[in-house]
Structure 1
Amino acid sequence: MKPKVYRLDGRKIKSVKDFYREIGRSVNGRGGYFGANLDALADCLRGGFGTPDDRPFEVDWDHSESSQRHLGGAFVDAVVEVFDEEGITLRLR
């Protein structure tokens, strides 16, 4: 089964708060929740927070280089690690 792909617009991410707002919007629509810290992000990636229960999903982080300039490499690396630990594909584009 083809995975559902959620897209983050890195141009909208200039702070950690923006990151969580943008991933919440991508997965659950405007104003949607998808964590507010790395532990909550891991919980959300496990399912039940707007992700499909019946098929795999992936996340494409478009314009990730723009986000990385604002967030710093350590935060982005931590996010990548959470995705890896949960077995969810995250593509930095």
Structure 2
Amino acid sequence: MTPETLSPNHPVVMALCAITRLACSPSLGGVIQALGVHAKAIGVRPGSEEFDKAAALVGLPYCRALDLYVPPEVKQRAESFHWTEAHRAWS
């Protein structure tokens, strides 16, 4: 697949754009915020499949147990607990 064939809502394109936005505007706060700004600009809903894939590509996969985008190691720990104890993944 060549870059010309990738749509703006392709997860790789979204991830790269989020990183670029963050590099150009550090005031966005973090990569997930930059991804949210980019997603909104192109009409992609945060929480959608494309958004979740892009978030994983920038190192913050969605964790269903915590209902958050978190580092992979936190996601792995959270998913090892019962959902009522998932918050313990942060300790």
TM-score if structure 2 supplies the norm length?
0.29
Structure ID, larger Rg: 2
Which protein is richer in helix relative to its size? 2
Which protein is richer in strand relative to its size? 1
TM-score if structure 1 supplies the norm length?
0.29
Q: Which structure has more RCO (C-alpha within 8 Å, separation ≥ 6)?
A: 1
